[in-house]
Amino acid sequence: MSILSSRLSRVTTGIIARGLRRSFAEVHAVRDVSFEARPGRVTALVGPNGSGKTTLLLMLASLLRPDAGEIRIADVDPVADPAGVRKILGWMPDALGAWPSLTVRETLVVTAKLYRIPADRARDRAASLLDTVGLADLADAPARVLSRGQKQRLGLARALVHDPSVLLLDEPASGLDPEARIHLRTLLRGLAADGRTILISSHVLSELDELADDAVFMVRGETVSGDRVAAASTRSREWRIRIAGASPDEARQAVAGALPGAPARVDRRDIVVPFASEVDATRALSALVAAGVAVSEFAPVTGDLEHTFLDLGSRSESGVPDPSAPASDPHTPDPGTPDPRTGTEGGDRA
């Protein structure tokens, strides 16, 4: 049986944002954001630190008022009716603000009661969700002692406790081990198949590539146009070629013989070759097979989202490389993004 209620079958709109802007004093965190995330689909929110993703999520979650623009969450305006939005919205921030005195089970029961769920149903809901996210064995452990990955799973369970139709997830895979990441991917795909709208922000682009149906790219506080994204996604990329039973030198010679003039390089036991398009890559694979080369792996070095992300980050608005633009480091702290727990910039400004 689906863990969704039947009311989701009537939801026809997910998230719609138009012309959003939000500044903190002189910091323009969100300059111009417009996009749509549809029900039954997982939409990836992709961008470097400082691009405004967390500020955007806080506005969508009704925790931060936009300076301009409009938002609809399943047809509800979070500015005009924040209580109405919170009934249908599940919000998972990057960091779990757990109550230190509560156990894992009590955290979910208390959260359920805050949504006016009766005590008996709250306990049943908590038990079901703990099993769903793989924390049943830790139900009576203090929430404060959980590892980072376990706290992420508890955060997801807390976001689901009131059976929302829309999910906002900020870095849900952070701290998860490989098995937990696979479980999360399966869970989120199932939730989307049941009709939820899921918007997920993550720096783990390889995970998003396997999970997301759609993507929204943000650069410097703005959503990137569809034409620019399409152009970035089709530019030259490197492909990894693995030859069965061959040493790196033998593999390079085999590739050079089948693809004369190709700028191949050795990467551990593989050969990496750039191709201008997927059509060119397909022709190269055909040439390798025709030459009798035992190709055991032939795939892009980066996934679609990572390739597009890296290309967008290295180019100006005109699509020409911008040597003056600083490189985007996904590990650099973002001083202009509000704290996800307080909604204030750097934790000290409204």
Q: Are 160 and 90 in contact (CB under 8 A)?
A: yes
Which domains occur in the chain, in start order?
A: 6-223 (3.40.50.300), 232-304 (3.30.70.980)
pLDDT of residue 71: 97
* Mean pLDDT of the 140-148 span: 91
- Say if residue 345's pLDDT is above 60: no
Give the count of beta carbons closer than 10 Å to the beta carbon of residue 350. 10
Residues 3-29, mean pLDDT to the nearest whole number: 78
pLDDT at 89: 96
Pure H helices in 22-98: 53-60, 82-88
Amino acid at 265: R
Number of other residues whose CB lies within 10 A of the CB of residue 124? 14
Are 39 and 203 spatial neighbours (Cβ–Cβ below 8 Å)? no
- At residue 139 the predicted structure's pLDDT band, cuts being 50, 70 and 90, is very high
Strand-pairing partners, residue 266, are 271
Integer Cα distance of 294 and 300 in angstroms: 18
Instruction: Judge whether 239 and 70 are in contact, CB under 8 Å.
Output: no
CA pair distance 94, 55, nearest whole angstrom: 12
CB 46 within 8 A of CB 205: yes
pLDDT of residue 313: 66
With cut-offs at 50, 70 and 90, classify the pLDDT of residue 342.
very low
Q: What percent of the chain has pLDDT over 90?
A: 61
Q: What mean pLDDT is predicted for residues 313-318? A: 51
320 has pLDDT over 70: no
**Which of 195-204, 236-245, 267-276, 338-347 has the lowest average pLDDT?**
338-347
Reported as a pLDDT band with limits 50, 70 and 90, residue 11 is: low
Helix (H, G, I), strand (E, B) or coil at 231: helix
**Segment of 9-18, 140-149, 224-233, 283-292 carrying the highest mean pLDDT:** 283-292
Q: Mean pLDDT in the chain?
A: 84
Give yes or no for residue 328 having a pLDDT over 50. no
- Reading the block at residue 153, the tokens are 């799973």
